[in-house]
Structure 1
Amino acid sequence: MREVNASEVVGNSKFGRFHLMVFLWCLFAITFDGFDIAMYGVGLPLMMEEWNLTPVEAGGIASYSLFGMMVGALIFAPLADKIGRKKVLAICIGIFSVFTLLSSFAPNPAFFSVLRFIAALGMGGLMPNVISLMAEYSPKKNKVLIVTAMYCGYSIGSILASLIGMYVMEQLSWRVLYWIGALPLLALPFFMKQFPESLSYYVIRKQGAKIAGILNRIDPDGDYKESDDYEFAKVQERAKGFPVKKLFENKRTLSTFAFWVAAFNCLLMVYGLNTWLPKIMQQSGYGLTSSLSFNLISGIGQIGGSIIGGYLVGKIGHRRVLVSLCAIGTVCFVILGLTSN
């Protein structure tokens, strides 16, 4: 019986049809996740008119959604270790699709807020799991670029929401965005049939046949068998303990808090822009279509930053890329707050 490290097999593989299939499904999922997150800000100007919302009320609804995303991430990320990431992704897609559709029929802000909060549970749970799966199934040589290219789906979703808002929404109302946001529900049967489960999930449960099936698709020349030892004992030993606690072991406390602070500020900026930029530009004298074009440009910039940053990581390292992009973002947002043109 030979010993096989499944992670090394994936890491040393070449990008092929299997990787492309995982990439496209992850891209699809995160695109609609980004679309569903962005559409609230895109539809907000018309929603405020229809329901006579004050800025405080509109901001409150946005906050409920973001709180729901946080709760969803806290619930579904650890749940994936119990039932598998594939099942959790399917649950998350189902939740945000169904409740996004129901949100389109909300008769008042109160009903809308409740439905939007529940939809946000799925949005928040999807993102960490889809990133984790894409990272797990990416060849080591191009892992960062593949994951960042997949993450561009978030920005693509934002761009699609902006385009629909610019050219369709005024004729059909803001609710059309929520009808489109429910489309992933139709793809769920195909997702369940084609998408693979996490390899680590199978290794921990000693499901050799499942592991061999996936590895043979990734590396057809490997001839992997159910009887192979996929380092079951080693993986189970590493999996013991409370996952969050491990973030503070081996002198990682400072770097963990640094990442949390950076992520908090980046998300504050991204969600703040997605929610309020169109309305701010409308109040500055621009028409609705012109106001939404600023969201469009923001999404295009995000794609450029993701791909360029992912490429540069392989050349100059993560730290330099992160610090440089944060510095550029800081300077640009200060100038953005001062400009009048």
Structure 2
Amino acid sequence: MSAPELSPAAETASSRLSVRVTALCWVLVLLDGLDLFVYGATLPGVLADRGFGLTAVTGGTIGSLTTFGMMLGALASGVVTDRIGRRKIILTGVVLFSFASAACALAPSVGFFGGARFVAGVGLGGLLPSAIAMVMEYAPPWRRNLAVTVVMTAHQAGGALAGALGMVIVESLGWRSVYWIGAVPIVVVLPVVAVLLPESLTFLLAKGKTERARAIADRFSVPLDAFAPEPDPGRRGGLRGLFAPSVRATTLLFWVASFAGLLLVYGVNTWLPTMMRANGYNLGSAISFLLVINVGGIAGMLVAGRLADRFGSRPVAITWFALTAAGVGLLALKMPLLVTYVVVFLTGGWLFSAQTLIYASVGAYYPADSRATALGWVSGVGRLGAVFGPWLGGILVAGGLSALGFGVFALAGLLGAVMVSLVRRLPKPVVLPRRTQHA
């Protein structure tokens, strides 16, 4: 389907609106990442608070409970958002994790604290796929994959911010103070987003809400035709649309690939310092590898987005998963420290963006009226890998099999590459270049 030809003024207006939506969603995903990773950053302080009574075992259970909440939030939002809209789910997610953060700050008991983290997980899991769907629907076709990867850099930045807050604030002001910071979005960010973030025009048109879509298009001076969903009277939207004969196998393949991708992300992020220390590196270097791999993740997403816009998200995802497998496998070898840092950085660049490219790929395989459902479910099913990866790494480390752990995580990368490679190819869309379309 060819992109409609736009006048220079209309193209500029559409580009500005895309930048606005991407920037707002970037901030929201930053807060999502901050609230997700703040638990790990504050956990040492919570465990040290003898009066609170959290044990290491219970702390691990609460971490899993948060991930389980994220899975439920992603699955539920994936169904609901294609019915009520992206904007409502995004705003609801901010409300949930902000209130939950305040509840953590006030928690009188470990049980109350665990319940609040579960609620936070529901909000966090629901926000991310809806934000990605929103960004994809407003981004011009020639930079759609880049827009997704740019937004996902915010997740890594949120993790880095959580770590910085944990180091700077916990010791001086206590662990509860960090959770009070996590409650700030509902007062500061939510009102701004509620005013500035429009509903998805593609969603509104897919649902037949033309007048409301036209009002938004007129407000931002953008051509409504540029957001019209591709007509297909025979398709089914929502959850049923994921199992239509044309995409049934694709749905299952993306689910398994997401499982492998999030198993890698959470498994490696959780156990990399421990496995590297068991591999002969000192404690300081082992911990620094975690920072390096996440910095590599931010850089890798920006590179992957540009490559995916040029060559397609599917082939880049396949390559990135395969390179992740090679990089993780190399870490089982004892190498010179500088070489190890380079390998860790590159592996981070491939590892985190491989999972992000699954999200970008999913958006291209489903119509507007089931896209957010597809993203929600691929994220939700993938969360099973987020639970399984840290558990599997713990079993291997506890058994003194850290070197084998690198091999197992490398196999997960190969599994992701194989699953995405089995997804059928889409015909390359005809997209007019940004400037030559006015020639």
Q: C-alpha distance in 2, partners of 1:233/1:127? A: 24
Residue 88 of structure 1, CA deviation? 1.3
Residue 59 of structure 1, CA deviation? 2.0
Residue 54 of structure 1, CA deviation? 4.8
Q: C-alpha distance in 1, partners of 2:201/2:325? A: 39
Q: C-alpha distance in 2, partners of 1:58/1:299? A: 23
Residue 66 of structure 1, CA deviation? 0.6
Q: C-alpha distance in 2, partners of 1:291/1:17? A: 43
1:313 aligns with 2:308: yes
* 1:9–1:219 contact (8 Å) kept in structure 2: no
* Residues 33-92 of structure 1: CA deviation (Å, up to 9, x unaligned): 011111112222222333565543222111111110011111122211222211111111
* 1:34–1:156 contact (8 Å) kept in structure 2: yes
Counterpart residue number, 2:15: 16
Distance 1:293 1:111, change over 3 A: farther
Q: C-alpha distance in 1, partners of 2:310/2:63? A: 39
Bigger CA drift: 109-118 or 170-179?
A: 170-179
Q: C-alpha distance in 1, partners of 2:210/2:23? A: 26
Counterpart residue number, 2:165: 164
Distance 1:295 1:18, change over 3 A: same
Q: Say which SS state the counterpart of residue 16 (structure 1) adopts.
A: helix
* 2:145–2:313 contact (8 Å) kept in structure 1: no
Q: Say which SS state the counterpart of residue 69 (structure 1) adopts.
A: helix
1:154 aligns with 2:155: yes
Counterpart residue number, 2:35: 36
* 2:15–2:139 contact (8 Å) kept in structure 1: no
TM-score (norm 1): 0.82
Counterpart residue number, 1:213: 215
Q: Say which SS state the counterpart of residue 197 (structure 1) adopts.
A: coil
In the alignment, structure 1 segments of 5+ residues that lack a partner are: none
Aligned-residue identity in percent: 33
In the alignment, structure 2 segments of 5+ residues that lack a partner are: 338-439
Q: C-alpha distance in 1, partners of 2:69/2:184? A: 21
Q: How many residues align?
A: 325
TM-score (norm 2): 0.65
Q: How does 1:158-237 map to 2 (within 5 A)?
A: 158-186=159-187, 187-216=189-218, 220=222, 222=223, 234=231, 237=233
Q: How does 1:46-65 map to 2 (within 5 A)?
A: 46-50=45-49, 53-65=54-66
* Residues 225-284 of structure 1: CA deviation (Å, up to 9, x unaligned): xxx9x979957x46x645333334345344332221221122123234555667888999
Distance 1:125 1:8, change over 3 A: farther
* Residues 210-229 of structure 1: CA deviation (Å, up to 9, x unaligned): 22233345555x5x6xxx9x
Residue 119 of structure 1, CA deviation? 1.1
1:45 aligns with 2:47: no
Distance 1:19 1:53, change over 3 A: same
Q: Say which SS state the counterpart of residue 212 (structure 1) adopts.
A: helix
Match of 1:266 among 245, 261, 267: 261
1:249 aligns with 2:248: no
